[in-house]
Structure 1
Amino acid sequence: MKDTIQLTSLEPSKDLSPFIESFWMIENPSDENEELSTFPDGGIDLYFFHSAEYPLHISLVGLETSAKVGTMPSHSILLGARLKILAAEYLLDMPVADILNDRITIDNGFAGIHQDDLFSFDTFCEKLSQYFISQLSTPIDPRKQAMSELIYHTKGTISVTDIAKAAHWSSRQINRYFTKWLGLPLKSYCDILRFRNSFDTLKMGELFPEEGFNDQSHYIKLIKKYSHLTPKQLAQDENDRFVQLYSED
């Protein structure tokens, strides 16, 4: 990550952990715009952006299946929540299938967040947490909870059949759920998680993880699919492409 970019993250409360991976903040306090690249990571992101041009802009970003390049303007702040798969149904009460690889603008005032709240990360996290807790009016379907827990616990290294068996939910129903709410089948989502979690080994200079892949050819193919780079190129990349790891540092 470029020296000028500052990253902060916070884990959610226990009540929200089934739905939110982390709250995060990226700042560019410099006088120069910074180019940032992101890769698919399995997260649905709720963005709150502030700059001289946009005092407050809120957007919801769906799952991504390809690498993207963007610009972080000078003296700007981007705060957000990285949402898990169950958040679409239980926190947002809306599918994000239509914004796969896309985003929509959310009206200002969402969750009671105002421009001034973006300058205090703690205040931002507290207000957004309180809002989301107020949205939890429906108990989680135990099949969906079991499914979600297995996906994240195994970091995507589990078959659809095994998930269906453990969750007592048919593979067809699970894929129907994913297609309706998220816009892609479960296997594709698990592939994205495996891609994301391979970053840990890449950051340590290991070009082939010990778990999660049938062989090195399979691993290389998956890395190139989502990054358009080989594992070696990705590990040696000098353009700070690991921006999406802010929630894990």
Structure 2
Amino acid sequence: MKETIQVTSLAPNEALSPFIESYWMIRNPSDQDEELVTFPDGGIDVYFFSNNEFPLHVSLVGLETQKQQGIMPKQSVLMGVRLNLLAVEYLLKRSVADILNDRTSLTPGYAGIEQEDLEDFNDFCGKLGHYFTSQLDHAIDSRKRIMSDLIYQTNGSITVNEIAQSANWSSRQINRYFNKWLGLPLKNYCDILRFRHSFDSLKAGELFPDRGFNDQSHYIRFTRKYASLTPKQLAHDKSDRFIQLSS
């Protein structure tokens, strides 16, 4: 029987939850390369990749605004951490605006992770969590915390003006923050989260989410923009190459 792609995830502890969505692992235990497809979902990721032919490689992946296709090599493992927007400033301490729809290599030994740490997912999560906890060396700006909470609580179904009023932070300053740290305006980021929130409906075979979009034609335009496919094509394709829809 063919071994298929394996996907595992783990939530962070409470102290890191404003910054980290999840730790995750993708494993290809088979003897053949597998195609993988990912869609924009609002996450920034740090990847740790290894297989029998290549030593541990670490990379930082910026926000994606379009579908990405790649190959998961045979007998390989990819572990990582999915970061929320505040993590860019408070954990990474560097902008990812320059790697929008791109990635950059990080130095070997980043966060203290070594080759052997990819042998046990729970140990990997614990070690990475300890590292990121050590990076929290100052309090979160209350305006940014309110902004972040509102964006994720509403799954992006909120306007810039609504956030500005609640956070007591001007729309101009908010968009300047997003462009500086993430490389796109707040509205674009919220649009991606709205699309990402529709994955649950697609996995259930529903072609139109119950909230977040004006009508079905509006949602079809969104899926074409971010997935290059229609909702019907996504919902009816059971291939595990669509990582975010099969996990």
**Common fold by TM > 0.5:** yes
Query: Residue 242 of structure 1: CA displacement?
Result: 3.3
Q: Which residue is 1:13 aligned to?
A: 13
Cα distance in 2 for residues equivalent to 1:76 and 1:3: 13
Cα distance in 1 for residues equivalent to 2:238 and 2:22: 26
Maintained 8 Å contact 2:199/2:244? no
Shift >6 Å, 4+ stretches: none
TM-score by length of structure 1 reads 0.96
Q: Which residue is 1:163 aligned to?
A: 163
Cα distance in 2 for residues equivalent to 1:198 and 1:3: 29
Unaligned runs of 5+ in 1: none
Encode CA deviations 1:5-60: one digit per residue, 9 max, x unaligned. Answer: 11111000001000000000011111111001010010000000001222200000
User: What percentage of aligned pairs have identical amino acids?
Assistant: 66
Q: Which residue is 1:70 aligned to?
A: 70
Q: Which residue is 1:217 aligned to?
A: 217
Cα distance in 1 for residues equivalent to 2:27 and 2:91: 26
TM-score by length of structure 2 reads 0.97
Maintained 8 Å contact 2:97/2:181? yes
Change (3 A) 1:3 1:233: farther
CA RMSD of aligned residues (A): 1.3
Q: Which moved more, 1:158-167 or 1:97-106?
A: 158-167
Maintained 8 Å contact 2:3/2:30? no
Q: Which residue is 2:110 aligned to?
A: 110
Query: Residue 217 of structure 1: CA displacement?
Result: 1.5
Matched AA of 1:57: H
Matched residue SS, 1:80: strand
**1:154 equivalenced with 2:151 (yes/no):** no
Query: Residue 241 of structure 1: CA displacement?
Result: 4.5
Q: Which residue is 1:208 aligned to?
A: 208
Encode CA deviations 1:153-181: one digit per residue, 9 max, x unaligned. Answer: 00001111111111111111000000000
Matched residue SS, 1:49: strand
Cα distance in 2 for residues equivalent to 1:54 and 1:174: 42
Change (3 A) 1:245 1:44: farther
**How many pairs does the alignment contain?**
246
Cα distance in 1 for residues equivalent to 2:161 and 2:95: 24
Query: Residue 245 of structure 1: CA displacement?
Result: 5.2
Cα distance in 2 for residues equivalent to 1:183 and 1:245: 26
Q: Which residue is 2:39 aligned to?
A: 39
Encode CA deviations 1:114-136: one digit per residue, 9 max, x unaligned. Answer: 00000111111111000000000
Q: Which residue is 2:119 aligned to?
A: 119
**1:144 equivalenced with 2:135 (yes/no):** no
Cα distance in 1 for residues equivalent to 2:114 and 2:199: 35
Cα distance in 2 for residues equivalent to 1:169 and 1:65: 26
Change (3 A) 1:169 1:3: farther
